[in-house]
Amino acid sequence: MNGLQLLPRARRLTRVGVLGVIMGCALTAAMLVGGCATNTAETPAPLVKKMKNQVTVRVVWHRRLRGEQPKLRLGLGVAVAGARVFAASHDGAVEAFDVSDGRRLWRRKLRAPLSGGPGVGAGLIAFGSSKGDVIALSQTDGRVRWRRLVNSEILSAPAVGNDFVILRGVDGRLEALTTADGTDTWIANQGVPSLSLRGASHPILVGDLAICGFDNGHVLAVDRSDGMTAWDAAVGEPRGTSELQRLIDVDAPVVSVGDDLYAVAYQGRVARLVRDSGRILWTHDLSSYRGLAVDGDAVYVSDAAGNLVRLNARTGGVVWQTRQLANRELTAPVVYHGEVVVGDLQGYLHWFDPATGHYLAYVRVGKARISAAPVIASDLLLVFDDDGELTALRTPPSSGPVATRAASTVTLVPAAAFSP
- pLDDT tens sequence across 127-164: 999 999 999 999 999 999 999 999 899 999 999 999 99
- 23 and 98 share a domain? no
**What CATH number is associated with residue 230?**
2.40.10.480
Condensed to tens digits (0 to 9), the pLDDT of residues 318-354 reads 999 999 999 999 999 999 999 999 999 999 999 999 9
How far apart are the C-alpha atoms of 255 and 240, rounded to whole Å? 28
CATH code (residue 131): 2.40.128.630
- Shared-domain flag, residues 21 and 90: no
Rg (CA), the chain: 20
Indicate if 205 and 272 belong to the same structural domain: yes
Residue 215 and residue 96 share a domain: no
In the DSSP assignment, the letter for residue 287 is -
Whether the CA torsion 205, 210, 214, 216 is positive or negative: it is negative
What residues contact 71, with CB distance under 8 A and at least 6 apart?
1, 15
**DSSP β-bridge partners for residue 79:** 86
**Per-residue confidence (pLDDT) for residue 296, from 0 to 100:** 94
Same domain, 222 and 284: yes
Of 133, 164, 189, the residue that ends a domain is: 189
Q: In Å, how far from its chain's centre is CA 55?
A: 25
Q: Are residues 147 and 228 in the same domain?
A: no
Cα distance between the two ends of the chain: 29
Kindly state whether residues 417 and 374 are assigned to the same domain. Answer: yes
The number of residues in the chain equals 420
**178 with 163: CB under 8 angstroms?**
yes
**What b/e string do you get for 352-375 counting C-beta neighbours within 10 Å, with b at 16 or more?**
bbbbebbbbbbbebbebbbbbbbb
Amino acid at 376: I
pLDDT for residue 72 is more than 90: no
Which of 15, 39, 41 shows the shortest CA–CA distance to 306?
Answer: 41
- Final residue belonging to a domain, choices 289, 322, 341: 289
Instruction: Judge contact between 121 and 166, C-beta under 8 A.
Output: no
pLDDT in tens, 247-268: 889 999 999 999 999 999 999 8
- Count of domains observed in the chain: 4
Q: What is the pLDDT confidence band of residue 1, given thresholds at 50, 70 and 90?
A: very low
- CA dist 328 and 342 (Å) reads 10
Q: What is the CATH number of the domain that holds 403?
A: 2.130.10.10
Check residue 409 and give its pLDDT: 31
- Determine the Cα–Cα distance for residues 59 and 369; give it in Å rounded to an integer: 18
Q: End of a domain among 168, 189, 210?
A: 189
Prediction pTM value: 0.87
Separation of alpha carbons 69 and 61, rounded Å: 21
Report the pLDDT value the prediction gives residue 197, as an integer from 0 to 100: 78
Whether residue 384 sits in one domain with residue 275? no
Taking residues 239-251, report their average pLDDT. 83
Does residue 9 have a pLDDT over 60? no
Closest CA relative to residue 79, chosen from 168, 180, 160, 182: 160
Contacts of 374 (CB under 8 A, 6+ apart): 331, 334, 336, 341, 343, 349, 381, 382, 383
- Do 368 and 268 lie in a common domain? no
Task: Name which of 210-214, 226-230, 400-404, 415-419 the model is least confident about.
Answer: 415-419
Q: Each residue of 75-114: pLDDT tens digit?
A: 899 999 999 999 999 999 999 999 999 999 999 999 999 9
- Write the Ramachandran bin of 164: left for phi over 0, alpha for psi from -120 to 50, otherwise beta: beta
Task: Give 28-46 pLDDT, tens digit per residue.
Answer: 333 333 333 333 468 999 9
Per DSSP bridges, beta strands 255-257 and 229-234 are unpaired
Instruction: Identify whether residues 312 and 346 lie together within a single domain.
Output: yes
Look at residues 272, 306, 266, 314 and name the one whose alpha carbon lies nearest to residue 286: 266
75 shares a domain with 31:
no
Q: What integer is the mean pLDDT of 234-244?
A: 83
Residue 30 backbone phi and psi in degrees, to 5:
-65, -40
Q: Is the pLDDT of residue 194 over 90?
A: no
Q: Is 18 helix (H, G, I), strand (E, B) or coil?
A: helix
What is the CB neighbour count within 10 angstroms for residue 148?
18
The stretch 203-217 carries a mean pLDDT of 96
Return the beta strands (E) in 150-268 as ranges. 159-160, 164-168, 173-178, 184-189, 195-197, 204-206, 209-213, 218-223, 229-234, 255-257, 260-264
CA distance readout (Å), 286 to 61, 297, 345: 36, 18, 21
Parallel, antiparallel, or unpaired for β 375-377 and 380-384?
antiparallel
159/278 same-domain check: no
Domain limits at 5?
A: 1-42
Q: Is residue 193 pLDDT above 90, yes or no?
A: no
User: 298 versus 17: which is more confidently predicted?
Assistant: 298
Share the mean pLDDT of the chain: 86
Most confident of 17-26, 70-79, 229-238, 334-343: 334-343
Using CA atoms, how far apart are residues 169 and 201, in angstroms rounded to an integer?
10
Residue 68's pLDDT is 55
Mean local confidence (pLDDT), 273-289: 96
